[in-house]
Amino acid sequence: MIRLASNSLTRANILKSFNIDFIQSGGSFDEETITIKNPKSFVYEATLGKYKECLELYGYDIPLLVADTVVTSNNQLLRKAKDKDDARAMLELQSGNEVKIITCMIYKSKDIELIDISSTIYQFERFDEKKLNQYINSGECMGKAGAIMVEGFAKEYIKEVHGYESTAMGLCIEKLIPYIFVT
């Protein structure tokens, strides 16, 4: 049993799909306090902030797992969209472009500490305008780094991918599994 210190349904679904027992109890760390513009540094600081908050709240009587994800395209850091216009701007930037999705995770048990920063790079075809509008209006893009869902809306536009889809979804399960089953 592990504690997923995240409010993300996608991360919870990744753990469920690998039959990993967990309880989900996210925190309320405010990423807006981070002023760093470098994507890897930003995602690390956000994950570390969430980790410290959840460690204080829950300790690690059971292993603790924290993660955060950011998206970059054209050297711009894309976080969660503030509104539909912000989501549209982010998605239009990614349309027909190379997009890097970076996820940082911290896994801590009594015996093991894993800190990992992984990235997956996508090359997207241009997004269909009508489908883009439907996606934005559905609200699915809200709460997602870069407003993108590679397992959903963007899947049909993937031309090329380098890395794990799980990283792009917010948790590099392939790197986590060996550590979970050692504790």
Residues taking part in catalysis? 68
Distance in Å from the first CA to the final CA of the chain: 10
The enclosing H or E element of 41 equals helix 39-58
Half-sphere exposure of 94 (CA within 13 A, CB side): 32
Q: Which residues pair with 80 in a beta bridge?
A: 145
Say whether 143 sits in a helix, a strand or coil: coil
Amino acid 28 reads S
Least Cα distance to 66 among 108, 33, 30 occurs for: 108
Counted residue by residue, the chain has a size of: 183
The pair of three-digit structure tokens given for residue 15, joined into one six-digit string? 């753990």
* Residue matched to tokens 């027992």: 21
Rounded to whole angstroms, the Cα distance separating 132 from 127 reads 6
